[in-house]
Structure 1
């Protein structure tokens, strides 16, 4: 009854009011609120009064009534920050050298980080333009054969390949209702395109299913996405290809003649495939065209020339399909396929960075490289922050008296920390502004260096903007936190008496940070040396064939050239600068197929494997100077060579169980409709990239319709004239075909473009990292020399030599550099060994690499500190002592 007759305001709102309300206003406000509460209770009741009281307390929570967070109640926050800002600007201008070093180092560090972040973002963005990115998968295939079917262990990821057969896609769609749609496309085909007077050999056209636009988010500018690839002899061109033939005219419905025989109708124009796609093309030809040309291969599980992708229905888990793959193989695969061959399903998200499968439809990236560049970005930014901390703590004695005076007049610890953190953030903002200007300046060079379409506009997205703003704030706080903590520890009574010194802890920390910087600098120098030595090793490696001055003409399967190959070879060989000419389907470093090949084993059993296949003429092996390990090469003296002979390499002989190469000569074989005997074994030659060991290869005499390349061994003398003469001969001999040529060593080395690009990027950012480290070292040396100015003057008066003074200023750093080198050697050895594991043929990292890197590292460091040391040693001692 007492509570009803004498109600009180609610407890929690009252506590909240007393917590936030300014003490000067609390008594009056609380009294008014209680009075209103009592009045409302009488009129409307207790419940309504408590509710109104709570609302009134909430409404009063506003500026002017809230108590100050700390310090004096009359503190003008704006004035305080204005003062911090003025003092910060004055300190930056007063110490121009240190400010320039800090701002420049931080700017380079931030710019490098943002550029690397753009590069990494591009690498991680591959294929994500597809709206169904998470539901797209592709089929991987493994083709292998055991002496006893079913005895092989499960295949490793490296044994799979993306290249497969045509019937797998339709079979998957029929057996798995979870699959919404499938899409197949072939390897790129080389076709001669003509429209009016324009004629080009197109090397990146693919045959594709009509479901292309159902699965991939390619933007069709004109045409019907559902029907554009349904009819035979229809073609969809990319915009850049269409512009090449039609300019600004409307291409839809117009015709293009292919290989001078077939007429194709342009049924669609699409935007160019985005650069961040794991495969690209210049046009899509309807798969129905290919089915008319080669109907038998669409039911052949052993004919490999297709890439198969499919789209899962929504809310479907891929695991449910993977568990049923064995049953799928058993139900659909032919008998020869079932024992040791299978398929796997790979998400589109793994295609570019994670896939280990062979026969990729395009280039692949490297997650290792992303980790390396991320590390370099973090290192560059970290050493920039270290430089700031080192220079700030080293200058602590100069600011000690300022701290002492501030503390004496009543400055609190948090206000001093705020002052120095604001200075740090101010420096960081200036550095960030300079970094943006640097990025705008160097971005075109970065695009060329990385081979990527990096755009400045990507930095203006809200994600990048938010990340940039937060990062700048964090960098400023982290860089300034330790110096601020050191500075506010000074005791004002001792500082004002001049009784203070730099703490041993701060000195030790600076030494540790210098060692850390140059340990990583040493590692980066070793990394750069190893990368370029390895690339040079690849260029000078004995490939097992002659690629010097080898001119390769690509005539794109032209039937007229194939039929007249021998006479064209004779005409070209008649040129005085041409010593040898051969014809073949493939050349080293170029595309080649695989062939199911059965060879008789030592005990008479016929064993089938899937080695690569080269189809050549009798002049190929002599032209490329490939050595025979056993038997003989093809020869016109043996007419049966054209249909009944096979040559294999040493790797293939070992694959079929032979250790002595002579033992396989005369053994029976069957391959692609041919039967006969093995007539020769060539020594292993590197027909593929040196990233991999030499793989099994079969070599057979080419039927005329399998030829595509002519290889000419030419003299190095008067090369331009020779090429001009050959081009004129070609125009006379093959007027219907453009003269497309390359030098084999150049085209073979294109396989290492990604490695060369990686080396250039690594070197560029490593150089910048070392530059930032040297900037910090220069700043520390400058400050150390300033502290010892009078000591140096006294030593000079007492007769000290220039060398002894330079040694005085440098000896402590030399010890640190030696420690850094000793730590950096094992780190760099471990990291670069891991990188070299990506090559089958790799250099040996001997002690010379580390010796040279250590010498370069110490030389750079000494050069940095020597300039300032010599400057200090050469000063007139009178100037350094007159102000004592």
Structure 2
């Protein structure tokens, strides 16, 4: 039986090569999309799962809210928490909860100048961490002892990539690195590079005892925020019991702060499900995963619909075959199995082709997604099992209805030549064409909306000047800090430089919060926790941030550096001022400094446009708090200006390498994940449209062949080529127009939900759908016209003579 089915299937595939090609290519592209989307989704779902204890690891989320005296303390919402918190909570958890096995804390990454011999590099993303790191996280040490590597002060563990920069392939344990032209750090280990699908990434680990040596006081202060706290739960311990004990825990340790509380988040949920702010690394989007899964299913369904449409459309060709077989005694069930076997055979061929297409697509998808998909990881036993399942699913999904439809033909009608396709079968084909084009058009319109939103983000007025703005990174170098004004002046004297400023951070970078008291409209001091920029006199002017009330910092006022503060509109509103001008002259107290508000700047987007502008204080920063120099340069001769700046820097700060980047480039990195999403969305939308067009092309070809005699007669009677093209095309175009009408509200529903992730978003305009409709109609016309024009131009004589 199997051999018989294989023989018949082979004959049919070879006999109708064109339709077989369309079916196989369509299914192969659909399967390829499913595989690629599955790889992407698997990567997103696997974040932090490389840790062997991942299902027992939790982290502490903390709230630092402010409540005035007498104000009711409300239950915090999930978005009120942040993962970035204080240090004392870690030891307190270990002491109070017997369920806790190990606790590890690490600080925000720092950038240090490392030197070994003649090699001198500014190394980013170095993290101070507890010695228990290797007990909690599954980071593999290539050299060194995990028990002692992070115990002693001035100990550093390098990643393999960084170690190779300084020491090649040698074992560096025991060797010293000079740090920031001062202390020597001893290399106590080399850790294998952390997997890319990890929220916690670093280039090196510094012992926490080193940080204690730098600032012992912050480790006992519940109000100082710069630590991430993770812990391992003991086997069979109950996290619910720990959560129930949180109120008593807070009462014992920090009862004086009503706005402080903690919550526990499972590490497995951190990347995709956490709503807490100040994450230690990248975060994913569960809605994007759902969307891509839907796209994968949609594309596969469109490919299967093509198969069903072409199979049922060609029913007349196979009707006699079915009739003869039934007369010879073949049961309908056997015929169904035969047609299902053909479908599974086509699906199998398509699956093999899909694996090949996927292999060659991996570099492109890696570039578009920002993830590293390698063929080595791709080809495994899991893929084999997955492909078997996908092949069976696709074959059955595409073949069940055609098998049932074809096996129902009545042999008497077929062999008499009176068989005609039923109205129901024709209606179903039309419905399937509408269905697949509805999905395709929805994806095309969705792509247009995604790119319109991303363009809006790139072109949105942020409220400050970021173009032609160089950021020189000196990471708190003491010599630069001491001579900051002289260095700024030397840089400002170079041709092509418009202005120079200094600050602790620049827009797009990490900012701390600061407990700040500001006098409210009622005259009482109100305590809130806004963000803080530490800046110099020239920061606001250089970034061209508009003032809406009061004045900027000025060297003409001696108290500006010690008794003055500038805030933004959001901060003025938070403290109760409807009009920014009313906040000018009010008293403030912040981090040991007291004085008055001298100005209010217009809200500017110093963070991603995913969030609204937050309350911000712009505090004058003493030189020992500054890390960045901003240089506004003219648009012309930028290369020459940079060369002049580098020469000046080497003269003024020879101990420090000249490191710079453009502010707009670093700021736009916040939207990399959105850009990658847009690239992938566009790719899969194009492929979905291609598959739909393949099906339409096949149907148009078949329709033209079926109506070849009618076309010949019409030509003889004087019909023009355009008349015939319109005749054949109008039925298909009617279906496409119906699909457009259905796709518009469907797209609006889906994309409005996606846009909710952006605080600043476009309003979806009718123009997007008009353009999408025009593109869809044009694509359909081009697809159909290839065959209809060919049929209309053919010589009518052979078609009329053939009977």
Band of TM-score, shorter chain: over 0.9
**In the alignment, which of 745, 766, 771 is matched to residue 685 of structure 2?**
766
Q: CA deviation at 1:736?
A: 1.5
Specify the SS of the correspondent of 1:800.
coil
Query: CA–CA distance in 2 between the matches of 1:315 and 1:224?
Result: 29
Match of 2:399 in 1: 480
**In the alignment, which of 203, 225, 239 is matched to residue 318 of structure 1?**
239
Contact 2:495 2:641 in 1 (8 A): no
Match of 1:93 in 2: 14
Deviations 1:552-606 (A, max 9, x none): 1111111111111111111111112001000111111112211111111122211
Deviations 1:322-376 (A, max 9, x none): 11111111100151x2x12211111101110001111111110000110110011
Match of 1:348 in 2: 267
Contact 2:449 2:768 in 1 (8 A): yes
Q: CA deviation at 1:738?
A: 1.4
Specify the SS of the correspondent of 1:575.
coil
Contact 1:201 1:556 in 2 (8 A): no
Contact 1:627 1:683 in 2 (8 A): yes
2:546 maps to 1:627: yes
Query: CA–CA distance in 2 between the matches of 1:310 and 1:589?
Result: 30
**In the alignment, which of 341, 361, 368 is matched to residue 442 of structure 1?**
361
**In the alignment, which of 718, 731, 734 is matched to residue 799 of structure 1?**
718
Most deviating of 146-155 and 566-575: 146-155
Deviations 1:366-420 (A, max 9, x none): 0011011001100111111110111011111101111111111221222211211
2:451 maps to 1:524: no
Query: CA–CA distance in 2 between the matches of 1:377 and 1:513?
Result: 18
Larger Rg: 1 or 2?
1
Specify the SS of the correspondent of 2:273.
coil
Match of 2:115 in 1: 194
Query: CA–CA distance in 2 between the matches of 1:149 and 1:426?
Result: 75
2:718 maps to 1:788: no
**In the alignment, which of 50, 69, 73 is matched to residue 129 of structure 1?**
50
Contact 2:518 2:526 in 1 (8 A): yes
Map 1:102-501; keep pairs closer than 5 Å.
Answer: 102-148=23-69, 151-333=72-254, 335=256, 337=257, 339-501=258-420
Contact 1:584 1:702 in 2 (8 A): yes
Match of 1:12 in 2: none
Match of 2:765 in 1: 846
Q: CA RMSD in A?
A: 1.1
2:729 maps to 1:833: no
Contact 1:138 1:345 in 2 (8 A): yes
Match of 1:671 in 2: 590
How many residue pairs get aligned? The number is 803
2:565 maps to 1:649: no
Query: CA–CA distance in 1 between the matches of 2:393 and 2:449?
Result: 35
Q: Where does the alignment leave 5 or more consecutive residues of structure 2 unmatched?
A: none
**In the alignment, which of 840, 854, 868 is matched to residue 787 of structure 2?**
868
Specify the SS of the correspondent of 1:352.
helix
Match of 1:587 in 2: 506
Q: CA deviation at 1:458?
A: 3.8
Q: CA deviation at 1:700?
A: 1.0
Query: CA–CA distance in 2 between the matches of 1:408 and 1:446?
Result: 53
Contact 1:149 1:340 in 2 (8 A): no
Deviations 1:442-471 (A, max 9, x none): 111111111112233444333332121122
> Which consecutive aligned stretches of 4+ in structure 1 deviate over 6 angstroms post-superposition?
none
Deviations 1:285-343 (A, max 9, x none): 000010011000001111110000011111012110111111111100151x2x12211
Match of 1:575 in 2: 494
Contact 2:254 2:260 in 1 (8 A): no
Q: CA deviation at 1:147?
A: 2.1
Specify the SS of the correspondent of 1:809.
helix
Q: Where does the alignment leave 5 or more consecutive residues of structure 1 unmatched?
A: 1-79
Contact 1:137 1:310 in 2 (8 A): yes
Query: CA–CA distance in 2 between the matches of 1:602 and 1:558?
Result: 42
Contact 1:301 1:334 in 2 (8 A): no
Map 1:807-826; keep pairs closer than 5 Å.
Answer: 807-826=726-745
Match of 1:750 in 2: 669
Contact 1:116 1:374 in 2 (8 A): yes
Q: CA deviation at 1:150?
A: 5.3
Contact 2:441 2:772 in 1 (8 A): yes
**In the alignment, which of 598, 603, 609 is matched to residue 528 of structure 2?**
609
Deviations 1:236-289 (A, max 9, x none): 111111111100111111111110111111111111111111120011100001
Query: CA–CA distance in 2 between the matches of 1:841 and 1:148?
Result: 35
Most deviating of 388-397 and 723-732: 723-732
Query: CA–CA distance in 2 between the matches of 1:826 and 1:434?
Result: 36
Q: CA deviation at 1:149?
A: 5.1
Specify the SS of the correspondent of 2:603.
coil
Query: CA–CA distance in 2 between the matches of 1:305 and 1:149?
Result: 29
Q: CA deviation at 1:494?
A: 1.5
Query: CA–CA distance in 2 between the matches of 1:500 and 1:604?
Result: 92
Q: CA deviation at 1:661?
A: 1.4
Query: CA–CA distance in 2 between the matches of 1:381 and 1:479?
Result: 10
Specify the SS of the correspondent of 2:271.
coil
